[in-house]
Amino acid sequence: MVCMTLPLVSGAEQTLARPLALRVKLDGFGGASEADIKAVLRSAGGALWQHCPHTQLPPQGFEIYHSTPDPITQYALSGDGRIVIGLAVEGHLWARFAFQFAHEFAHALMDHSNDPGRPWHKLEHANQWLEESLCETASLFSLRAMAQTWPTQPPYPNWKSYAPALGDYAAQRMAEPRHRLPAGQTFAAWFAAEEPGLRQQWAQREKNTLIAQQLLPLFEAEPAGWEAITALKLGTRDVDKTLAKHLAEWHANAPAAQRAFILKIAALFGVTMPPLPKETP
């Protein structure tokens, strides 16, 4: 990864004073206009970004390009300091644009916010499934939030009628049987059986999405929790550490205001957090 020291802009400043800065390379997007793509992405990213008032991102913003076959957030910034995100969408599929960008925006918060030289970026580690599940949660969260705001505050007045399609896209994904717990099984029992496999293979989308459905109510009840994910990757660089250690490090590295929320995530996975050491006066 190439790390660059850049001036940064807070979430509150970007949300209120200026929208997320976007540069879009149109090749491959199948006729969707630059203005329309930017409008959808700003709405999707803004659903998360508005809850991160103390977080900073590079002021140059994002460079968006068409990626095949999958969306991706690059670890290296562009030559002029932009976060580089590839989206695998063609045409005017706005719900899909929103879904993919919200997922990648969550990766950007984890990888590129505040001091971008601090996070650990190695993919192949035992708890990578948690990051992917949080990003799936971000996608569902953003779509459901947009479905609520677009009826009165759409990017363009004539897009109000598209709001139900955003909510429907999330609802359909959540309703798929492979994304839901088996009948009669608790999440605790399911997770205990599935965690060993997730530690071996983190990108199991049906399981990441099932976990996301468990996380989603926590974030919808406390959307300020999105700011907590900026500290997720600040722990020790141990590829085999336990989930309990990973969560404890996240808890310790997070701002004090976010720690209670992280405890709720830990409780979801049946992890009891050790008390933090008392600070020396």
What pairs with residue 84 in β-bridges?
63
What is the reported pLDDT for 254?
94
Q: What is the largest CA-CA distance in the chain?
A: 61
223-265: pLDDT as tens digits: 999 999 999 999 999 999 999 999 999 999 999 999 999 999 9
- Mean of per-residue pLDDT scores for the chain: 90
Query: Which residues are CB-neighbours of 70 under 8 A, at least 6 positions away?
Result: 88
13-70: pLDDT as tens digits: 444 445 799 999 999 999 899 999 999 999 999 999 999 999 999 999 999 999 999 9
pTM above 0.75, yes or no: yes
Phi, psi for 23 (deg, rounded to 5): -120, 125
What is the reported pLDDT for 27?
94
What is the reported pLDDT for 120?
77
Q: Return the domain boundaries, the chain.
A: 9-268
| SS3 (DSSP) at 152 | coil
Query: Which residues are CB-neighbours of 262 under 8 A, at least 6 positions away?
Result: 228, 247, 250, 251, 254, 273
190-214: pLDDT as tens digits: 999 999 999 999 999 999 999 999 9
Q: Answer whether 128's CB lies under 8 Å from 202's CB.
A: yes
CA distance 253 to 105: 21
Parallel/antiparallel/unpaired status of strands 22-24 and 62-66: parallel
Tokens of 60: 């140059």
CA distance 228 to 109: 10
What is the reported pLDDT for 123?
78
- Class of domain 9-268 (CATH, top level): mainly alpha
For the segment 107-114, the average pLDDT, to the nearest whole number, is: 93
| SS3 (DSSP) at 221 | helix
What is the reported pLDDT for 118?
77
For the segment 3-9, the average pLDDT, to the nearest whole number, is: 37
- Residue 279 binned pLDDT confidence (cut-offs 50, 70, 90): low
Parallel/antiparallel/unpaired status of strands 83-87 and 72-73: antiparallel
Helices (H), the chain: 11-16, 34-49, 94-112, 128-149, 163-175, 187-200, 205-221, 243-253, 259-268
| DSSP H or E stretch at residue 87 | strand 83-87
Of 237, 215, 209, which is closest to residue 228 (Cα–Cα)?
A: 215
Tokens of 31: 């006729």
